[in-house]
Amino acid sequence: MLEIIKLSSNTDNGFLVVKYSKKAFKSPIFWMIMVYSVFLLRAIHEDDPLEIPYPPAQVNYKTSRKFISSNYAASSRLGNHLFELASVLSIARELQRVPIFFIEDCYHEKMWEDTNALIPGLMNQFLVINGSVPRSIRRTTFHAKCCTFENPSVLENVQDEYLHLKGTHYQSWKYFSQMRNELIGFLKMPTNHFFYLPVSSQSTFVTCVHVRRGDFLRVGFHVADEKFIRSAMNFVARQGKNCIRNLKNLDMISEGARRKHMTTVYFGDDFQFMDYLRNGTTSSDAYVSQNSPSDDLLYSKSNCDVVFISAAHSTFGWWMGYLSKGNRVYYTDIQYTKDYILETGEFKSDDYYPPHWIPLKYAGSDNLTVIKSFK
């Protein structure tokens, strides 16, 4: 069926070429090879070895308890992990079920390790089981949209011993609205003393600015530019001064408190951009954190008096604000951006941002002054 023809030296220097006869295209073996080759190429280029599922976990049935587990966006980063695990724990408590964390693949293993390194108290609330979710456990549709709250009460009538939710991300403060102090208490004690960063005190006020660029620039999430960040920081600084001016018992404030040492710390993934911001910060001493993501969150817990989240949909920035010492948070109002999440219909601002956080926007299309955006 195949003829191997040697070309003359006058044509292609003796290279070989394979000439297929018409019969080859009619051969089922030929097409089987072609189909297999296509699937093999796709497997080589698309399959992620870290997503290869572990063997199904062994679980006991007909116990005296009921359990709950969920899908997780395990290949995502720490901010997403915290949303998912805090939400599932809260839902488990509401439904009086035991929360399970199945280590389904390498990503789930890393998710557990990274989260446990930061907040071991949270992971200790879960029954951790090695292995993927058994096929015998029915999957239940819940939380189909990443950033919109769905009331867990819709699950109350599910009688399955093992309830496995198909949702992921769970990006809504409403799932764990009463757990802030508990989650802060779950955090590990820091071993890094952040020697080169300022310490919040009676005489030192720390403003923390989170910057996310990197992958956000590629995927269509909103990224605040330098002008907006600087203008927003000016707004935040004015708000802080107004708070002191408006205190009725101003005479009771110590001279040190009235003349606080104002400092700014930048956190994020673009060190060149943050260095540029730092070098242009003249109203206060400025620093750029070189710490790990876990240590940045631990620093925020103890030192961030105010947090500004410049990238509207940064989950890491969200947790930096949520866990912060001052619990006083400003953020870029996503409704006035072109963030692609708005086009999906999956994002609801009131579900994502706690009500006491303050959204910021430009005063107008031709006015670069940043003002409070009223909801």
Place of tokens 């089987």: 32
Place of tokens 């989170």: 210
pLDDT confidence of residue 209: 97
Q: What's the Cα-to-Cα distance from 298 to each of 68, 77, 176, 193, 227, rounded to whole Å?
A: 29, 16, 20, 10, 29
Would you write out the chain's pLDDT as a tens digit for each of its 375 residues?
A: 333 333 344 444 433 333 444 454 556 665 465 555 444 434 443 578 899 999 999 999 999 999 999 999 999 999 999 999 999 999 999 999 999 999 999 999 999 999 999 999 999 999 999 999 999 999 999 999 999 999 999 999 999 999 999 999 999 999 999 999 999 999 999 988 888 999 999 999 999 999 998 777 677 788 899 999 999 999 998 886 665 455 444 444 433 345 478 999 999 999 999 999 999 877 679 999 999 999 999 999 999 999 999 999 999 999 999 999 999 999 999 999 988 899 899 999 999 999 999 999 999 888 889 989 986
pLDDT confidence of residue 245: 53
Give phi and psi for 252, each to the nearest 5.
-80, -10
Structure tokens at 107: 């990503």
Q: Please answer whether residues 120 and 102 qualify as being in contact, where contact means their C-beta atoms are separated by less than 8 angstroms.
A: no
Dist. CA 271–CA 276, nearest whole Å: 8
Domains of the chain listed by start with CATH number? 2-47 (no CATH), 67-186 (no CATH), 204-372 (3.40.50)
Q: Which of 190, 186, 179 is nearest to 298 (CA)?
A: 190
pTM comes to 0.84
CA 31 to chain centre: 45
Q: What's the Cα-to-Cα distance from 91 to each of 85, 127, 356, rounded to whole Å?
A: 10, 15, 23
Q: Please answer whether residues 62 and 30 qualify as being in contact, where contact means their C-beta atoms are separated by less than 8 angstroms.
A: no
pLDDT confidence of residue 185: 98
Dist. CA 371–CA 231, nearest whole Å: 9
pLDDT confidence of residue 366: 85
Let me know how long the chain is.
375
